[in-house]
Amino acid sequence: MLPLGDKNPTRRLALVNILLIAANVTIYLYQRFYAPAGAADFIQRFGFVPHLLSSLDQTGTAAAAWVPVTLVTGIFLHGGWFHLGSNMLFLWIFGDNVEDRLGHGRYLLFYLLCGILAALAHFCAHPGSTLPTIGASGAIAGVMGAYVFLFPKARIRTLVVVIIFIQIFHLPAWFLIGIWFVTQILSAATELATAQVAGIAWFAHIGGFVAGVLLLLALKPDSRT
């Protein structure tokens, strides 16, 4: 199931959400085409590597100081066009309404904190991983958690593909996002059962989603409709 849009108008321009999308796209273009040492080195330097956080006391002062910074920089990196495009589509659909309720400043804080907490959730599950954790999906999972809490009955225009069956449905947010969240839990459980770190940070998605709901409550969103 792929969300295409929602029937949930906002009262003001989602400026921060638009700027976040622009930042992600700009950084990806730089990473892919202009990074001096190449995209792989750029990701290794600016992506969040759990193992480095586990071994901070064994690194030099400069290196130790840099590792926490990657909790933020890793949020803005992506592994390919599909990774970037799917994340930005979700952010475009769900982010504007959350920003509308939180306001510009609180939404930016909310987004970054969700991304950081999502990365830390992945760290707790795989502290020894040497693979860089990148992508906005943890932060966007937080946005989705906030969205479904605020607008559980909002209708989401969704593309459903089952083998050769292709149809567009207008599904309630609680159903679509609920299925997505259950999928993340089942995938994370499978990862634990097989003792293998997948290419997708399932625990970051779960952690980001939970963080989104809790942070939303802490930041006291506008209750006006």
Among all residues, which ones are annotated catalytic?
A: 137, 205
Which contiguous run of DSSP H or E holds residue 162?
strand 155-162
3-class DSSP state of 6? strand
Bin 38: left if φ > 0, else alpha if -120 < ψ < 50, else beta.
Answer: left
Angle between helices 81-102 and 15-33 (to 10 degrees): 160
Alpha carbon distance 73, 57 (integer Å): 21
3-class DSSP state of 103? coil
Alpha carbon distance 210, 27 (integer Å): 27
Nearest alpha carbon to residue 26 among 93, 101, 78, 100: 78
